[in-house]
Amino acid sequence: MHLARFAASACALALAATGVTVALAPAGSAAASSVYSVAPYVDMSNSQEGLLDTAVTGHGLKAYTAAFVLGEGCTQIWGDTLPIGNDSYTDPEIARAKSEGASVIISSGGASGEPLAWTCSTQSSIDAGYQAIIDDYGVTQLDFDVEGAAVADTAAAARQMQAMKDLKASNPNLRFSMTLPVLTSGLTNDGVNILKAAKNAGIKIDVVNIMTMDYYAGTGTEMGQAALSAARATLAQMQSVDSGYTYADLGITPMIGKNDDGSTFTLADAQTVESFAAQNGVGRLAFWSANRDQPCSGSANSLSTCSEISQNSLAFTDAFVPYEGGSGGGGTTTDFSLSLSPGSASAAQGGSTTATVATAVTSGGAESVSLAASGAPSGVSVSFSPASVTSGGSSTLTATVGSSVAAGTYPVTVTGTAAGTSHSATYTLTVTSSGGGGGGGGGSLTNAGFETGSPSPWTCTGGSAVVAGPVHSGSHSLQVTPSSSSTGECDQGVTLAANHSYTLTAWVQGPYAYLGVSGGATASTWSNSGTWNQLTVSFTTGSSGSVTVYVHGWYGQSDVYADDFTLG
């Protein structure tokens, strides 16, 4: 997770000094359920675990995810630098929560470390290391949180999947999750490659757990709906790799309260996500973190120990716990899920566009699902081919736009109805003028090639600056500098014609270079390249015509360079 703090605690030192040891529960003492429907993360290294005890004993929490075990060569330690199975602070905390009735998932990796398969290249040592976690803590579930540059390490991913295949052979009840960064549009290409590594190894990831946080798409991002968008898109990606994946194989993990990028995940957003999970049978709900599920007191202002919003203590736990043991636990009723790919598209007046409506069995058996659309504006017809499918099948949606339909963005609700239930998804249709994009006036970017030698009127964060090289053309380019905990970013606000389509381009190079617009329109794209390459973003303005153009990197990565922007 993005905010893990690793520091040895006074409690750990005191226990070590007195020689206190605590026996851990034997293997097999975990809850019998094969899926822990609600399992928030607990940072075992920041001295805030008292909230865990209260959540378990007073708020009905039945499972949690203990974070993080770090690979160190071919050995493993907890984040406070003490070895697994012999940590005089973390081990007693885990034992106490077990004695109170809580099951535990052990998570390896995080933003500040990596799982063993990423730090050790000897397969037998990796297998033995993960087995040691299972044996030392008596767990049947392991989580692997892979972030930053580690997501792109294909050799490590292959070792990871081989280890899981080996471990599942000797531990038949073992389940594992891969926790991965995500955008509102789904996993990055590197994240999809993690799924492919599992497919190549002949195994299926039990829970693909997405971190629905820190999108860096603007502080006004509606985080509840963004999480739903990311979930739908990720499931489509999962099913493109292995058609057997359903929502029961998906986990959703937001960062509660204030996120690193300044956006806020509210209690209302928590309810939105919990309702979506219940409706679709999502395999796991978690959040970062139980340590933060409290308001800041006095002058406290620390993302690792509080949410930085007004809330009651453990209010987010209370919001998610009703899902415990719910449809994500693998019920026996018949149900299905419905998703759209893509979830949004543009069509010119007089034109048309298509999308795939995918369904999947989430519990019980397959059933007939009839498809319908509502909310389309006058002059837009929406059809399905076929009009009904057996859950697990797909249909093609076609939206045909009349020549007189006003340019603008329209939400269309697509609903699938079966004998006992129905599910809906939103298809966002943008109608553009057939006369072409950008007509009717409007502004353009200033200092688009940075040849003035300074960023102005661009507004930049951190150490971002205009530099003399590398450049795509001319004598200057923009250097965007991320930090270990945030992206660097440069923005320029422009006022364009209202309700018109535009194309933004820029030349970029560097790891995870993002180009996009926010405000009156939202669209983005990215690349990961050591050479100059051109990114293109199409968008349609709203009624104000105002947008913010941005370029940023990704936290913990190297500098990104940008040059030669165009907007028209």
| Domain contains 439 | no
* Residue 115 pLDDT: 97
| Domain contains 2 | no
Query: Of the residues 312, 329, 346, which one is the last residue of a structural domain?
Result: 329
* Residue 437 pLDDT: 35
* Residue 36 pLDDT: 75
* Residue 88 pLDDT: 81
HEC readout, 511-523: EEEEEEEEECCCE
Tell whether 349 and 320 lie within a shared domain.
no
Question: Considering all CA atoms of the chain, what is the largest pairwise distance in Å, rounded to the nearest integer?
Answer: 80
Q: How far is CA 306 from CA 1, 5, 216, 272, 276, in A?
A: 15, 13, 21, 21, 25
pLDDT classification of 82: cutoffs 50, 70, 90: confident
- C-alpha dihedral (538, 543, 544, 545), degrees to nearest 10: 30
Average pLDDT for 21-36: 35
Which of 97-111, 169-183, 487-501 is predicted with the least confidence, judged by mean pLDDT?
Answer: 487-501
Compute the chain's Rg from CA coordinates: 24
Tell whether 341 and 322 lie within a shared domain.
no
| Domain contains 57 | yes
The sign of the dihedral angle between the CA atoms of 55, 206, 276, 515 is positive
pLDDT, tens digit, 9 for 90 and up, residues 273-293: 998 898 888 999 999 999 899
**CATH classification at residue 397:** 2.60.40.10
| Domain contains 56 | yes
Tell whether 319 and 353 lie within a shared domain.
no
Q: Which two tokens stand for residue 156?
A: 């490590």
* Residue 19 pLDDT: 32
- C-alpha dihedral (419, 421, 425, 426), degrees to nearest 10: 90
Instruction: Measure the CA–CA gap between 77 and 81, rounded to whole angstroms.
Output: 6
State the burial class of residue 33 (Cβ atoms within 10 Å of its Cβ: 0-12, 13-18, 19+). Answer: middle
Q: How far is CA 121 from CA 71, 154, 168, 310, in A?
A: 11, 12, 20, 46
Instruction: Measure the CA–CA gap between 150 and 191, rounded to whole angstroms.
Output: 10
From the list 535, 512, 542, 561, the residue with the least C-alpha distance to 215 is 512
Average pLDDT for 242-249: 91
| Domain contains 110 | yes
Tell whether 519 and 426 lie within a shared domain.
no
Average pLDDT for 380-394: 90
Which of 140-149, 191-200, 325-334, 470-479 is predicted with the least confidence, judged by mean pLDDT?
Answer: 325-334
pLDDT above 80 (res 2) = no
State the burial class of residue 421 (Cβ atoms within 10 Å of its Cβ: 0-12, 13-18, 19+). Answer: middle
pLDDT, tens digit, 9 for 90 and up, residues 255-271: 999 998 889 999 999 99
Tell whether 190 and 339 lie within a shared domain.
no
Which of 6-20, 55-69, 95-109 is predicted with the least confidence, judged by mean pLDDT?
Answer: 6-20
| Domain contains 469 | yes
In this predicted model, which residue has the larger pLDDT, 403 or 329?
A: 403
pLDDT above 50 (res 539) = yes
Q: Who contacts 124 (Cβ-Cβ below 8 Å, separation ≥6)?
A: none
Residue pair 355/371 in contact (Cβ under 8 Å)? The answer is no
3-state SS, residue 326: coil
Which residues pair with residue 358 across a beta bridge? Answer: 339, 394
* Residue 249 pLDDT: 92
Token look-up 């190894």 returns: 201
pLDDT, tens digit, 9 for 90 and up, residues 289-311: 998 999 876 554 556 788 989 89
Average pLDDT for 382-411: 87
| Domain contains 5 | no
**CATH classification at residue 177:** 3.20.20.80
* Residue 405 pLDDT: 81
Number of folded domains that form the chain = 3
State percent of the chain over pLDDT 90.
Answer: 49
pLDDT, tens digit, 9 for 90 and up, residues 503-516: 899 999 999 999 99
Tell whether 212 and 266 lie within a shared domain.
yes
* Residue 298 pLDDT: 55
Tell whether 381 and 280 lie within a shared domain.
no
Query: Of the residues 417, 432, 447, which one is the last residue of a structural domain?
Result: 432
Tell whether 199 and 97 lie within a shared domain.
yes
Tell whether 497 and 516 lie within a shared domain.
yes
Tell whether 339 and 325 lie within a shared domain.
no
Instruction: Measure the CA–CA gap between 13 and 89, rounded to whole angstroms.
Output: 8
Tell whether 424 and 463 lie within a shared domain.
no
Which residues pair with residue 507 across a beta bridge? Answer: 534, 563
pLDDT above 80 (res 214) = yes
Instruction: Measure the CA–CA gap between 488 and 556, rounded to whole angstroms.
Output: 10
| Domain contains 52 | yes
For the chain, helix, strand, coil in percent to 5 are: 25, 35, 40
Query: Of the residues 283, 305, 329, which one is the last residue of a structural domain?
Result: 329
* Residue 1 pLDDT: 58
Residue pair 182/212 in contact (Cβ under 8 Å)? The answer is yes
Q: Who contacts 528 (Cβ-Cβ below 8 Å, separation ≥6)?
A: 152, 189, 190, 511, 512, 513
Residue pair 328/284 in contact (Cβ under 8 Å)? The answer is yes
Tell me which DSSP letter residue 154 carries. Answer: H
Average pLDDT for 302-325: 85
pLDDT classification of 451: cutoffs 50, 70, 90: confident
**CATH classification at residue 532:** 2.60.120.260
Average pLDDT for 164-184: 94
Tell whether 372 and 467 lie within a shared domain.
no
Domain region containing 522: 459-567
